[in-house]
Amino acid sequence: MSPLVVNLWGHLGGGFGLGEGALCTARALGAAGLTVQLRDLPLASHPGAAPIQAAAEPVLPAAIDLLHTNPNVLRQTDGLAAQLQLEAPLRIGYWAWELEAFPDGWEVGFGGLDQLWCPSPFCATALGQRSPVPVTALPHLIDWTRADRLAQRRARLGRSGDAGHRGPFTVLFAFDFWSTRARKNPDGVIAAFLAAFPPGGSVEARLVLKLGSAAQFPEATAELAERCAGDPRLELITSHLSTDEFDALYVQADVVLSLHRAEGFGLLLAEAMAAGIPTVASGYGGNLCFMPPGSAELVPCRRVLIQRTEGDYRAGWCWGEPDLDGAAAALRRLADHPALAAQLAAAGRQAVREALDPAGLAAVVAERIGSLLRWGGRAELLAALPQQHSLRRLQ
């Protein structure tokens, strides 16, 4: 008998949020003892991502098709839906969303789904408002091997202790323009950094801003470049970076900063905390599922109305406006007190290890898929599993 097979459809080349999230879900499925067949759905909007090569082994009949992309992406991307070959008897969707309100027009995506998964309870609350199927939060299972390796590299460079290190206090921020400038708020990041470390001040500091998809948003990129011009401490990176190149940014960072106005999960923050990097982040959104008080500098936010529609984020809906003065104070506090930064880094790493534990997330996968198999008419799928398979214990 064979293990249960899942076809995982998604933008598996990685290099951006939806793609990296799909790879995280593949890890969780594997940790639950499932056989995962990767089915890549490349996006022309992210040509820098590495394509997933088709497996050489024969394709196995799958019990589940897991569709790891959003309904708006399928609807708005020419030819993408035509690439799907959904033939499994069971179907699960995995959507990422960042606001409290249910997204306009996404109801069409529920057709054919048996369950819907998403990356955080915050996201599940929004999607559950109109979902006709069960909605479950399955947080992203990050690459812990990579995170541990980064933590070790940082320790060797003196980036994780209170003894300090030579060089400027480095703040790292990264976002993709497809995630929208208004939501990710690079302008607020620059303002908070300058308030914390004005030119000519006593603290030597620099801000590294990694801009994804910059070539596709030339006007917005030029605006941010103009804002950074004249201050050599503000460094813009607009080219696509490999994983190794991005890891080099993690290794050199003293703080990872996110002043988002809305967030479905916050993979950058989770990876940073797992690598032992202190984080300063908006205390609002899906990142709170792995970022309890004391594990990061949480910036106070107030709920405000969105003033102008950008992408799927509609005017009149609500999100969180971070307190830039509070963010600046947090940055300065960590720069002035290395021992405090080291304590925060250790607390953050412990918090995210507990929240994103592979065994815990595998248990969520097993429970949700087990519930599907217990429905009438699906006993044959359960019976085909090996006798010692973890899903059998759900009977």
CATH number of the domain encompassing residue 195: 3.40.50.2000
The domain in which residue 131 lies consists of: 5-141+357-394
pLDDT value at 164 more than 60: no
Looking at the structure, tell me whether residues 222 and 367 fall in a common domain. no
* pLDDT value for 1: 41
* pLDDT value for 377: 55
Looking at the structure, tell me whether residues 363 and 373 fall in a common domain. yes
Looking at the structure, tell me whether residues 338 and 381 fall in a common domain. no
Looking at the structure, tell me whether residues 149 and 281 fall in a common domain. yes
Chain centroid, CA 353 distance in Å: 15
Mean per-residue pLDDT over the chain, rounded: 91
3-state secondary structure of 363: helix
Token duo for residue 247: 């890891």
Looking at the structure, tell me whether residues 185 and 96 fall in a common domain. no
Per residue in 350-381, pLDDT (tens digit) is 999 999 999 999 999 999 999 888 765 566 66
* pLDDT value for 49: 56
Looking at the structure, tell me whether residues 216 and 297 fall in a common domain. yes
Looking at the structure, tell me whether residues 345 and 375 fall in a common domain. no
Residues in contact with 36: Cβ distance below 8 Å, sequence separation at least 6, in sequence order = 5, 6, 8, 26, 29, 30
Chain centroid, CA 19 distance in Å: 9
Looking at the structure, tell me whether residues 59 and 171 fall in a common domain. no
CATH number of the domain encompassing residue 25: 3.40.50
How far is the C-alpha of 356 from the C-alpha of 354, rounded, in Å?
A: 6
Strands 255-258 and 279-282: parallel
Looking at the structure, tell me whether residues 134 and 246 fall in a common domain. no
* pLDDT value for 76: 76
How far are the Cα atoms of 85, 141, 164, 356 from residue 333, in angstroms, in the given order?
53, 31, 14, 28
Per residue in 69-81, pLDDT (tens digit) is 999 888 877 677 7
Looking at the structure, tell me whether residues 351 and 224 fall in a common domain. yes
Looking at the structure, tell me whether residues 132 and 162 fall in a common domain. no
- The number of folded domains in the chain is 2
Per residue in 103-125, pLDDT (tens digit) is 999 999 999 999 999 999 999 99
How far is the C-alpha of 140 from the C-alpha of 356, rounded, in Å?
A: 7
Looking at the structure, tell me whether residues 106 and 184 fall in a common domain. no
* pTM given for the model: 0.91
